[in-house]
Amino acid sequence: MAKVATIFKVYADDADSVYARIKKDLAPQGIKLEEIGFGIKVIKVMYVHEDSEGSTDLEEKLRKVEGITDVEVDSETLV
């Protein structure tokens, strides 16, 4: 099976503390904090997974993190 890299855009009330929590508890392959304007920050989280697994389970894990207000798939690509 092919590997897929999925990047999620995560919105949170307190992006800095949620960033630390995601990095510690969910161990993504990549994570960065981006300012999108007017003091609003978004967390970009990347996971590499098997194509057959899909990204729904990963999205649900992210949604369960305390402080997250919304999660959306930013991009998906084969690696």
Distance of CA 62 to the CA centre of its chain: 7
Range of the domain at 54: 3-70
* Structural domains counted in the chain: 1
Strand partners, 68: 12
CATH number (domain holding residue 46): 3.30.70.60
Rounded Cα–Cα distance for residues 36 and 10 (Å): 12
Q: For residue 76, is it within any domain?
A: no
Q: Tell me the whole-structure pTM to 2 decimals.
A: 0.91
Q: Is 65 exposed, middle or buried (0-12, 13-18, 19+ CB in 10 A)?
A: middle
Q: What is the pLDDT along the chain (79 residues), one digit of tens a residue?
A: 799 999 999 999 999 999 999 999 999 999 999 999 998 999 999 999 998 888 889 999 999 999 999 999 999 999 9
